[in-house]
Structure 1
Amino acid sequence: MTGIQYLACLWTLFITQTGCVRSDIQFLERREGDSVVLPCVVERRNLSPFGVYLMRSWLQPGDVLFMHTKSEFTVDNDADKNRISVSGDPASHSLNVTISQLRASDTDRYCCDFVVENPSSEDDRLRGKTEFFLLVSADAPGSVNTGLVETCAGGSAVLPCLPPHGAGFAVEGVSLKRQRGRAPVEVLYHSKRHHGSSPPSSSSSSSQFPAEKVQLSSAPGPGGITYNLTLQQLQPEDSALYSCHLLQRDRPDSTTSLGRQVFFVSVQGGQCGCSSYSPLLYALSSAVAVLLLLLLLGIVVIYQGKAHRSVKSHPQAPIYEEMTGVQPVRQKLAPCHLEEMECSEYRNCLVKKSCPENHYESPRSESLK
């Protein structure tokens, strides 16, 4: 195995083992009492899974159900047995899990793991193609504009801040609410107005985030000045629903729920894009990519060079070389034909001439007789 092949294999092993390729996230919003279908699909068609897990990985981490191929599924919580149904089989690489009579407590992030037998060690678990963030609320779907923001551990998320009652008033502060459980919690408050026990003329602020993790910026937009709140150095435990809104003059801040614009900030650990890996691994993958590109260019250049030489090395063969192989036949020909062919050989062309009779030679030979 050459050095380039070794580096390529090492790079492929790094990509597959470190989990740089992550699943897509699909946002699902439902009302209490509705139902939702979670399609579990695995793309590794060359493997034969014999089981599948449905898991929650955010508010209440743990297994929801497990299904063995050609068997009934089992649920972790017996109270959910009548609310969950499964269609399909893990061996077919896809199945659908339906959760009915949804509750607000079903809000969570869900994922599917397919189980594949490994004779040499423990069974392997392959993450499904798509992960799901399910938001179950008492309000009608669409009454709140919900978005998804994905980032990595140590990354940042930019949240637009909207005025709670429309535009047209001077901005005096900002409030950020977060919801991880059943009720939102204010995690950031900054205002020039009276808040709590502070004097009315003083500015007050409170935050569950360190000061270096929060940054408020403004920029001109189509409807006037827009404000963005940037949460920096996020960690997986910061994943939650966030809503940022502006505090305005002569508009009391009496809201206890999330605002009109809600974002689910999903902070992934080592599965988000490979940005959490060391620069050495980045350098290795970049070097392998460069070497593979150079190898491909070298192959193309060599192939074109061989093709060019092969065209030059096959000109039209001279008549002299072609006639070399028929030397014995040529010796049996008449002298006149030999002279004509020799003439053609030196001219490198085929010239056909008639062989006239020698009228002076024939009578002389008869007289001699």
Structure 2
Amino acid sequence: MMTGTKYLACLWTVVITQAGFVCGDIQFLERHEGESVVLPCVVEKRSTPPFGVYLKRSWLRPGEVLFHYTKSKFQVNNSSDKNRTSVDGDPSLHSVNVTISQLRVRDTDRYYCEFLVENPSSEDEKIQGTTEFFLFVNPDAPGSVDMELVETCAGGSAVLPCLPSHGEGLAPVEGVSVKRQRGMAPVEVLYDWKRHSSSNPSSSSQFHLSSTPSPGGIVFKLTVQQLQPEDSGLYSCQLFHSGSPDVSTSLGRHVVFVSVQGDRCGCSSYPTLLYTLSSAVVLLLLLLLAAFVAIYKCKATRKVKSRPQAPIYEEMVGVAPHSRKLGPSHLEEAESSEYRNCPMKKSCPDNYYESPSGALRLKR
């Protein structure tokens, strides 16, 4: 019992230790050109406060955006961004807010904060903030594009809704087009028209189109399979129902940002996994405790049954059972043995009732 409990405790410790790395969430932010955005950089409080913080980009234009040293002015990597960037707070307080105003389309990217903590014995520690940001700057008018965020792991899949290009929801589907934007302009990764084959046969096996009836008509969805981190980007799926296909090079009115996690896979499902493991461990401990109680009660019951308590009268009878049940022959043997302790020709001095004749001689 104790061995199993210790094993579960050690297993749970390993799970908590391995899952205890910084597993930041991804926050989706959609803005339009000319607007502003606030990126809150937060790190868990530590005994040694940070002395600096970086704001970095990690997708379209990887690199440093700015660096803020404690109790001093921040420095931007691109001088043209200085007038539209501001920082509120101090890294030593474990939190700063970075504001970027007059947004442009080229500001679309993934952003994250990296705090620096001094380590006297070795190289300074670099700790990533608790939240990662995906900023999408839309060049169109507000409300013209719907944005959605989908997170998955390497080797996983993502489901994209496919909408008609011109609203012909009831017309027969004749083609599908999937565009992906990872750079400055969208690229068509799948084009399938019923009169022509796919324009990218190598990637056609990665996409699967399915349809589901609904009260408003048939709903089409596209599943992108076997995704890798380099497949992260903006996706748009459009259906063509009649006439000639749409030859536009822009994304559709519904855009999905697919974020494929690599070495940090499982971050989004970490709370669910933690709760599941917690429930499993608690259930196992309860089962082991119930089994231990049942075994203990069973052993105690068997011990009582194997050694019953004898009644008092039986114990008294058992003190000298043979002396009470001796037959006449045994009594004779006992008497004869008693007399054999004395000399054969001399009577025992204390026995005055040895024989009647002896008693008469004493009277004379």
Q: CA deviation at 1:237?
A: 0.9
Q: Which residue of 2 aligns with 1:146?
A: 147
In the other structure, the counterpart of 2:181 is 179
Three-state SS of the structure 2 residue aligned to 1:143 is coil
Q: CA deviation at 1:102?
A: 1.4
Q: Shift of the alpha carbon at 1:63? A: 1.4
**Residue number in structure 1 paired with 2:233:** 240
Q: Residues 293 and 68 of structure 1: is their aligned pair in 2 closer, same or farther, counting only changes over 3 Å? A: farther
Instruction: State the Cα distance separating 1:287 from its structure 2 match.
Output: 8.9
Residue 230 of structure 1 corresponds to 223
**Paired position in structure 2 for 1:348:** none
Report how far residue 46 of structure 1 moved.
5.1
How far 1:33 moved relative to its partner?
2.0
Unaligned ranges ≥5, structure 1: 194-202, 277-281, 307-369
| Paired residue secondary structure (1:162) | strand
- Judge conservation of contact 2:175–2:245 (CA < 8 Å) in 1: no
What's the offset of the Cα at 1:301?
Answer: 8.9
Aligned to 2:37: 36
Q: Residue type matched to 1:173 in 2?
A: G
* Alpha-carbon shift at residue 113 of structure 1 (Å): 1.6
> Aligned pair 1:15/2:19, yes or no?
yes
Counterpart residue identity of residue 160, structure 1: P
Q: Is residue 48–residue 118 contact of structure 2 (8 Å, CA) maintained in 1? A: no
- Which one has the largest radius of gyration? 2
Q: Say what the alpha-carbon RMSD is for the aligned residues.
A: 3.2
Counterparts of residues 320-339 of structure 1 (less than 5 Å): none
Aligned residues: 287
Deviations along 1:154-194, one digit per CA (max 9) or x if unpaired, are 1111001110111232211100011122221111000113x
8 Å Cα contact 1:176/1:187 also seen in 2: yes
103-112 or 34-43, which deviates more: 34-43
One-letter amino acid matched to 1:222: P
| Distance change in 2, residues 1:52/1:119 (3 Å) | same
Contiguous gaps of at least 5 residues in structure 2: 297-364
Cα deviations by residue, 1:255-291 (Å, 9 ceiling, x for unpaired)? 2211111111111112121799xxxxx9xx9999856
Match of 1:190 among 168, 189, 192: 192
Deviation readout 1:226-249 (Å, 9 max, x if unpaired): 111111111111111110010112
Q: Which residue of the partner structure matches residue 348 of structure 2? A: none
Question: Cα deviation per residue 1:62-84 (whole Å; 9 max; x = unaligned)?
Answer: 11111121121122222222221
Residue type of the alignment partner of 2:112: C
Amino acid at match of 1:242: Y
Matches for 1:192-341 after TM superposition, within 5 Å: 192-193=194-195, 203-207=196-200, 210-273=203-266, 293-295=283-285
The one-letter amino acid of 1:224's match is G
SS in 2 for 1:71: coil
Once the 2 structures are TM-superposed, how far is the Cα of residue 128 of structure 1 from its aligned partner?
1.6
Q: Deviations over 1:271-317 (max 9, x none)?
A: 121799xxxxx9xx9999856654466679989xx9xxxxxxxxxxx
Give the 5 Å matches for 1:158-169. 158-166=159-167, 167-169=169-171
Instruction: Provide the C-alpha distance between the structure 2 equivalents of 1:252 and 1:289, rounded to a whole number of angstroms.
Output: 53
For residues 6 and 246 of structure 1, do their structure 2 counterparts lie closer, same or farther at Cα, with a shift above 3 Å needed? same
Q: Please give the secondary structure, in 1, of the residue aligned with 2:119.
A: coil
Preserved CA contact (<8 Å) 2:87 2:97: yes
Structure 2 residue matching 1:126: 3-state secondary structure? strand
Whole-Å separation in 2 of the counterparts to 1:29 and 1:208: 33
TM-score scaled by structure 2? 0.70
Q: Secondary structure at the match of 1:60?
A: coil
1:74 is matched with 75
Counterpart CA distance in 2 for 1:93 and 1:208 is 50
Shift of 1:136: 1.2
Query: Residues 151 and 268 of structure 2 are in contact (CA less than 8 Å); yes or no, is this contact kept in structure 1?
Result: no
Superposed CA offset, 1:191-225 (max 9, x none) = 113xxxxxxxxx22112752331111111123211
2: distance between equivalents of 1:81 and 1:117?
Answer: 27
CA-CA distance at 1:125 after TM superposition: 2.2
Percent identity among equivalent residues?
Answer: 61
- The DSSP-based 3-state class of the residue aligned with 1:206 is coil
Structure 2 equivalent of residue 97 of structure 1: 98
**Cα separation, partners in 2 of 1:253 and 1:268, compared to 1, 3 Å:** same
Structure 1 residue 99: deviation in Å?
0.8
Q: Distance in 1 between matches of 2:206 and 2:261?
A: 17
Q: In 1, distance between residues paired with 2:289 and 2:121?
A: 39
1:300 to 1:89, Cα distance in 2 relative to 1, 3 A: farther
2:12 alignment partner, SS class? helix
Maintained 8 Å contact 2:235/2:258: yes
When residues 216 and 93 of structure 1 are mapped into structure 2, their CA distance, relative to the original with a 3 A threshold, is same
